[in-house]
A and B are shown apart, each in its own frame.
Chain A
Amino acid sequence: MDVDDLENIQSSHSYNLTCPGESLTSSQSFMRGHGTYVDNEEVVASVAGTIQRVNKLISVKAIRSRYSPEVGDLVVGRITEVQPRRWKVDANSRQDAVLMLSSVNLPGGVQRRKLESDELQMRGFFEEGDLLVAEVQAFFADGAMSLHTRSLRYGKLRNGQLVVVPPILVRRLKSHFISLPCNVDLILGLNGYIWVSKHVKEIDQEGEQGFDAEAVYSNINDEIDIPTRSAISRVTSIIHILRAHFIPLTDTLLLETYEWTIEHENHTTDLLQQDFGEAMVAYISSTG
């Protein structure tokens, strides 16, 4: 193969794909965005992925990479370390995220000052290994993200299991809290961590009212009945299949596939068969 063949490869794709080291355009008429660098007055790609152009800004989005956070994103994370006045949280990003003691709801409700006693019992709220759902609040100077759980919807996670997918497969949705009719709740973290759990009744109150520290920081699972358990594992298996086929997750898609599997399967374990998964994916692509 020589250079000519290479050009054929590229032109045969309808997508705008590029590789590191490929020059995209001149830097005099365009600005460089993420995934590019400037060398010899040329904008050059530094990752493999799709070229995106917004007016004069050229950037390359990698197909698969770690999660790059944005303020306001909903993420699911796991506590890795308890430090003075802060927790370190693994959120599938370049560095561990930080959850400050001042950005969590504390027992006693209402906005109150953090006391030394709170600092001493931080492990009582979150311990190493605990899973939580939070929102990206801000960034530190070095690019690490700071999280907060100052909402009743955020906090420690119980009653379910974690599924990890590449972050690109979680698209921004109107709501990342999804309730499936099968008594299963889903939290689609934008960092690719997905929490599948038993449905709990909605908390409607806003702000600090109705905040029950006992329940929020509890480490004990509720009673989960057998049908719910199998529903949870069915949803998990569906996500695994979609991940293997690199299909982005949306609420409608999950709902449709769930209904389809109910119709076609004999048992939950059918979802572990490769051909069943392929049939499911074929169904998805046929309905679009």
Chain B
Amino acid sequence: MASRIEILNEGGFRSDGRRQFELRTIEIDLAQQGQADGSAVIAHGLTHVLVSVFGPREARMRSHTMHDRANINVEISLAAFSTGDRRKRSRGDKRILEFASTIKSTFEPVIQTTLYPRSQIDIFVQVVQQDGGLLQACINGTTLALITAGIAMLDFVCAISGGVHSTSPLLDLTNLEENDVPNMTVAVMPKTQKVSLLTMDTRLHVERFEEIFRLAVEAGSTILVEMKAAVLGRSSRLIESVDSSTQPHGLGVENDNS
């Protein structure tokens, strides 16, 4: 599958004009969506994901309750129009099931589940648009949604994709690049710099691997800055509006329908 598009040209630019280690624009919207306890819309370039978190709440099935911790339930749906070729995936699709179980096991050790015994936390991920780095967007979105729901977590989880084009490492791949170069997704917990998720499905030499892996771990902290700014921005907006009714100054708006 040789593509005619140059992944990295001689001037050091990628097909969409980025440099090797440049990330795509990250847009984050933490406004409340409907009845969800926490929600986030995150966009990495053209990949858009909406995550809603419900809970901790009473488990709907008694068999799902655990006496000492919360049960986490993840469901993912990919919009049929999210890719170039319109395709409807069934809920039983193995790839989606794997995806959901990946997200679940990534967040299980991060959420302090023991604080919520006999409860259930539901995470619903809706993929609106995909252009590479889907897992990374899902994980970052879930982190933000969990934080807005006020669920206790040890740390942020920041995910980033990376790949190697012949010998040069690239970060934050688009769909085009993902199809062409060996790629991986890494999720880091920035406080300890520990890796909570790492997947790579394509062949890559051990030596090349180490380079891009270390780079991706480092890039996690850049993502953190964006995510933190969004969370703090939302917190201060809300706090300000709570206070504005008692002491008149600046007014924050969290709009239901924005």
Contact = CB atoms under 8 A, between A and B. Distances in A.
The reply, when asked whether chain A contacts chain B directly with Cβ atoms under 8 A, is yes
Given A21-B155, A63-B235, A94-B57, A9 B229 contact: yes
22 contacts: A1-B229, A10-B232, A17-B235, A19-B156, A19-B232, A21-B153, A21-B190, A48-B231, A50-B239, A63-B239, A66-B55, A94-B57, A95-B118, A96-B58, A142-B67, A164-B35, A245-B253, A247-B241, A247-B245, A248-B242, A287-B248, A288-B248
Instruction: List 6 A-B pairs, minimum CB-CB distance, nearest first.
Output: A65-B150, A62-B150, A21-B155, A46-B152, A96-B58, A288-B248
Interface in B230-258: 231-236, 238-242, 244-249, 251-256
Nearest to B247: A288
B154 A20 contact: yes
Given A19-B147, A19-B231, A66-B37, A37 B154 contact: yes
Residue in B152, B246, B254 with the greatest tally of chain A CB atoms within 10 Å: B152
Residue in A5, A44, A245, A281 with the greatest tally of chain B CB atoms within 10 Å: A245
Given A49-B150, A65-B37, A245-B254, A21 B189 contact: yes
Contacts of B255: 244
Given A21-B191, A94-B57, A46 B112 contact: yes
Contact of B154 (A46, A169, A281): A46
Given A6-B229, A21-B189, A245-B254, A48 B56 contact: no
A66 B254 contact: no
Contact of A64 (B35, B149, B153, B251): B149
Contacts of B253: 244-246
Contacts of A62: 150
A48 B147 contact: yes
Contacts of B251: 245, 281-282, 285
Nearest to A15: B239
B257 to A, nearest CB: 8
B118 A285 contact: no
Given A21-B189, A49-B150, A65-B151, 19 more contacts: A1-B225, A2-B225, A17-B232, A19-B156, A20-B156, A37-B112, A37-B152, A47-B153, A48-B231, A65-B149, A65-B150, A66-B150, A88-B58, A94-B55, A95-B56, A142-B118, A143-B118, A285-B245, A288-B248
A90 B119 CA distance: 13
Nearest to A34: B152
Interface string A71-111: 00000000010000000101000111000000000000000
Contact of B191 (A44, A50, A247): A44
Interface string A105-124: 00000000000000000000
A168 interface: yes
Interface string A127-169: 0000000000000001110000000000000000000100011
B45 interface: no
Which interface class (under 10, 10 to 19, 20 to 34, 35 or more) fits A? 35 or more
Given A63-B150, A247-B244, A288-B247, A13 B232 contact: yes
B196 to A, nearest CB: 13
Contacts of A65: 37, 149-151
A46 B153 contact: yes
B235 A48 contact: yes
A219 to B, nearest CB: 24
Given A20-B156, A95-B58, A144 B232 contact: no
Contact of B248 (A88, A168, A243, A286): A286
B244 A285 contact: yes
A145 to B, nearest CB: 12
A80 B35 CA distance: 18
B232 A49 contact: no
Given A37-B112, A288-B245, A20 B153 contact: yes
Contacts of B18: none
Contact of B155 (A20, A95, A164): A20
Contacts of B229: 1, 6, 9
Nearest to B146: A20
Contacts of A49: 150, 235
Interface string B186-212: 000111000000000000000000000
B154 A21 contact: yes
B163 interface: no
Contacts of B222: 1
B232 to A, nearest CB: 6
Contacts of A248: 242, 245
A169 B226 CA distance: 28
B136 interface: no
